[in-house]
Structure 1
Amino acid sequence: MYERYAGLIFDMDGTLLDTEPTHRKAWREVLGRHGLRFDEQAVVALNGSPGWHIARKLIEINHADLDPYSLADEKNAAVRRMLLDCVEPLPLVEVVRTWYGRRPMAVGTGSGSALAEALLAHLGLRRYFDAVVAADHVQHHKPAPDTFLLCAERMGVSPTRCVVFEDADFGLQAARAAGMDVVDVRLL
């Protein structure tokens, strides 16, 4: 089915790994420590965005005076602690295993590189990917195309010859803006 593509790019959270419930649990925990309300709809609407961007929105909703980068760091520490104990790969990992060695592949994620690398390594998946491009590798995040364009560059593949697997609206927009075909894994 993917023979016509020269490179395959995968979002991580909610696409390759079942991390979304844990991200929400971590946000609840961290916001609770600060006496802030967790707005699940706001978080889901921002899926694919870097943590500091989500933190900024949650701070705004709560009319709080906190640093979004510090809040995101707190949340990432909570996520890392929780995820390394319970994260599981999603069925799309079979596509990765099937195409390994046949096409270059990359991960393009809104998570930070330390968390992405730790999770992929912990599950024995890092070896499948030629590149991992995370939020701290680009200046403009999803829905901007930068994450996926850098994936293509690091794989040595023209963007127009790539397909992206995504589960978030921002990621779908980013893939299209990069001139790439995209598979909405929510429809699989």
Structure 2
Amino acid sequence: MASTPRPAIQSRHTDPARRGGQRSLLLDLDGVLLDTRPVMQKAWGAVQQRHRIEVPFEQYEQHLGRPFNDIMRRLTVTDAEAVHQTYSEASKAVAHLARPFDGVEEVLHTLVARGWLLGVVTSKPLDRAAPLLAQLGCPFGSVRAAGGPGRSKPAPDPLLLALVDLCADPAQATFVGDMAVDHEAARRAGISRRWRAHSGATPRGGSPPPLRELPPNDQRHADEQAFLSAVTTRPNELGGIRSYLSPGDFADPLHQQLYRCLTALHHRGEPIDPITVLWEAQHRGVLASTTPETVLTTCARSGNDPDYWATRILDHALLSTTAASAEHIKLAVDDPTMTPQQLITVCRRALRDLTAVRLRRHHAHQRPPAPPLRSSRPPTQRSVTRPPPRIAPVNPFGPSYSAPRAPTSSSSR
């Protein structure tokens, strides 16, 4: 009997000869690495429309992390297989709405560079999880998805199988999840360090209504394009800019993806020019929603200052975040179903997002000035200041006059 293929993505980091003493980190996918809530909302909306299901998305969301058929049973939804097929097709159609959380890619690459073994354990099928993980551009030692060997979460099977892939000890592993089933699975697997991701996030089922779409800002779009062309021309300045500018500061989704491409190339130490950015964009699936000509035009070389345009982008982000925070708080206050605890959490999160942008804008102002550019002219000889020549004193009695000598003790009177 042929063995079931293991849905794991192998890399050089999982070579058994190199694993000794390495620390391991297991991560959930949805709500930890990527914000996939917009995808799930759209997919569940397609299920409601096609199958005439009146169960609200918030009720479905409370059971996330469990096998899909188990969720349908808990929601008393019949014909689970047909519903699952509809949900899967709709999820693939709107997968481009998923976005990595700010800073996730940088953290993952830093952990890999420091010798950590990384694995992903998700209840999402592998054919839907793999394209999302490709956005991160990170080598995972193991990816355990729904449909593989063993039971699904909250059973410990997928976590234990991922640790087997990594040759890791559960007592020395760390797990990050955002749902109760994640932590139940980690407890049963014997993983002692369990972290709940995004502790300040809105509670499940307590999120405010979606914000209305803001009108397009042509100036903001032009500023973002000016920055991308400038930083492609002067990529050495990316090291400092990355410390305060994040992909979420861009309004245009294409510009967000191109900035991720630039930072990934810079992190790997690879050359940056319009062609390499286009190659990275193709590798990340960005060309599914744009054309190569658009990418090359956006990243065309220019003589602009990347620092200046980066701070302009932050200014736009600060204004839009202020407006969004105020609207989030207003919607939460006007929602009669919001409990006091949920209202406090929503307000804290809105103000936290605004504070984060303000701090990064302040950090951009505090950066030391860039060193001056070296001149192409040959260096001129430095002038040396010499002391003035010493002048002998002038004898007022003439050059032939000499002072009389004093008498000695042996002279006569």
- Quickly name the TM-score band, shorter chain normalised: 0.7 to 0.9
Contact 1:8 1:104 survives alignment (8 Å): yes
* Long gaps (5+) in structure 1: none
Q: CA deviation at 1:100?
A: 1.2
CA distance in 1, matches of 2:125, 2:26: 17
Q: CA deviation at 1:78?
A: 0.6
1:8 maps to amino acid = L
2:88 maps to amino acid = N
Q: CA deviation at 1:51?
A: 2.5
Post-superposition CA distance 1:124-165 (Å, at most 9, x none):
43x420110001114321111111111111111111111011
Contact 2:42 2:94 survives alignment (8 Å): no
CA distance in 2, matches of 1:23, 1:5: 35
Match of 2:92 among 61, 75, 80: 80
Report which structure shows greater RCO (CA 8 Å, sep ≥6).
1
Match of 1:10 among 27, 34, 42: 27
- Further displaced range: 99-108 or 36-45: 36-45
Post-superposition CA distance 1:87-130 (Å, at most 9, x none):
11013444322201411100000100111112112x143x4201
Contact 1:10 1:106 survives alignment (8 Å): yes
Contact 1:5 1:161 survives alignment (8 Å): no
Q: TM-score, normalised by structure 1?
A: 0.85
| Residue 127 (structure 2) aligns with | 114
Q: How does 1:1-188 map to 2 (within 5 A)?
A: 6-58=23-75, 60=76, 62=77, 65-66=78-79, 68-83=80-95, 85-91=96-102, 92-101=104-113, 102-121=115-134, 123-125=135-137, 127-180=138-191, 181-187=193-199
CA distance in 1, matches of 2:188, 2:85: 29
CA distance in 2, matches of 1:165, 1:55: 26
Contact 2:51 2:83 survives alignment (8 Å): no
1:53 maps to amino acid = D
CA distance in 1, matches of 2:178, 2:105: 14
Contact 2:92 2:128 survives alignment (8 Å): yes
Q: TM-score, normalised by structure 2?
A: 0.40
* Long gaps (5+) in structure 2: 1-20, 201-413
3-state SS, counterpart of residue 182 of structure 1: strand
1:70 maps to amino acid = A
Q: CA deviation at 1:25?
A: 2.3
Q: CA deviation at 1:24?
A: 2.6
CA distance in 2, matches of 1:79, 1:174: 25
2:112 maps to amino acid = Y
- Further displaced range: 134-143 or 10-19: 134-143
CA distance in 2, matches of 1:171, 1:95: 21
Contact 1:106 1:132 survives alignment (8 Å): yes
Larger Rg: 2
Contact 1:42 1:57 survives alignment (8 Å): no
CA distance in 1, matches of 2:142, 2:81: 25
Determine what percentage of the aligned residue pairs are the same residue. 28
